[in-house]
Amino acid sequence: MQNIIFRGPVNSLSFGNVTYNLLREMYRKQMNVAIFPIGDNLSFEAYDKIDEEFKNWVVSSVQNRFHIAKKDWPTLTQWHLNGAELRISPRQYLYTFYEVDQPTLIEKAIVDLQDKVIFSSKHAESKFKSAGCHNTCSIPIGFDEDFVKTDKTYLPNKIHFGLMGKFEKRKNTSAIIKAWAKKYGNNYDYQLSCCISNPFFKPEQMQQLLHQTLEGKSYGNINFLPYLKTNSEVNEFLNAIDIDLTGLSGAEGWNLPAFNATCLGKWSIVLNHTSHKDWANNKNCILVEPEGSTPIYDGSFFQEGQPFNQGNMNYIGEEKMINAFEESESFCGKLNKNGVKLTKEFTYKDTLEKLIKQIDE
């Protein structure tokens, strides 16, 4: 297959990063692509290493999409289940991410509307197959080649922990910071850098959440970074830390920060659940078993009784979290060789080839 209609966001968020990498592989394969950007806009701000010819190809494929697209071309949509019901051509394939465990009637109906739904994780595929949706499979995403080791020295004589991703209950953001502050707060042999701004919260809301998390206390060795606009800045952040804590999230469709940190040879503390099981093991990360599950609802992004995103997230208590912090100290300064191997095991070239195979079938 060399002709395709593609729908997906081109922006700096996680879905945008996946779109960017899939389109780059389509460009390299010299495919004919009619791009229908979700949101009707293109934002390349995060991709400061972008090849200009590739960028021009994307722009042209968007501007000329109605001239390029043919009715008999398949459509590949990379988006949430919510919003995937729209169809451009008769054949539609959805590539999506799912974190929870209780597919709703509407989610199942949208899956059934597609020719095939390809999830990013075996966990998601299994939940929908158990719910009676058999037009499903799973294909993992790849490592973004724009992330590279810098081999710089950042904070010598300290153990540097990092936490990245939107401030969210699902990601255990507050619980992780509280546990770390309890164990290491104001101990300057240790540093915690947090890149956790949430674009859906106003600045004053974020400040209130951080104030509540730290219970009004001040810690000189906890650093809250502003939103990082470019992948080069993200690359510096991932290279600067020794131990990643993002893997302690309670539910994930992949977990790009933890995965990328691991691929760069860092050590991530990872809860053994959902999509983590597709790439994390006890040889390439500090694997921790969840202690149970708890409802995922937070009143903002996950609301009980809604037609989408219903169910549970995985739970880990403060004591077990702190034990994992302590265990991770012995890994500081050691290259995660098995983590680096993931860059060869998971590539976007392979992701695209597998997606094409599913569509051609």
* Band (258; pLDDT cuts 50, 70, 90): very high
pLDDT for the residue numbered 139: 98
Do 159-345 and 3-142+347-360 fall under one CATH topology?
yes
For 84, residues 6+ apart whose C-beta sits below 8 A from its C-beta are 77, 94, 96, 110, 114
Every domain of the chain and the residues it spans: 3-142+347-360, 159-345
Mean pLDDT of 180-206: 94
Share of the chain above pLDDT 90, in %: 95
DSSP strands (E only) in 62-124 = 75-78, 92-96, 116-119
| pLDDT 10s digits, 108-161 | 999 999 999 999 999 999 999 999 999 999 999 999 999 999 999 999 999 999
pLDDT for the residue numbered 242: 98
DSSP strands (E only) in the chain = 3-10, 32-42, 75-78, 92-96, 116-119, 136-138, 159-164, 190-195, 222-224, 243-244, 267-271, 286-288, 292-295, 312-315
Quick count: other Cβ atoms within 10 Å of Cβ 151?
6
* Band (4; pLDDT cuts 50, 70, 90): very high
Query: Does the 3-142+347-360 domain belong in CATH 3.40.50.720?
Result: no
In the chain the first and final C-alpha atoms are separated, in Å, by 10
Considering the domain 159-345, what is its CATH architecture? 3-Layer(aba) Sandwich (3.40)
Q: Please, what is the average pLDDT of the chain?
A: 96
- d(Cα 359, Cα 208) in Å, to the nearest integer? 47
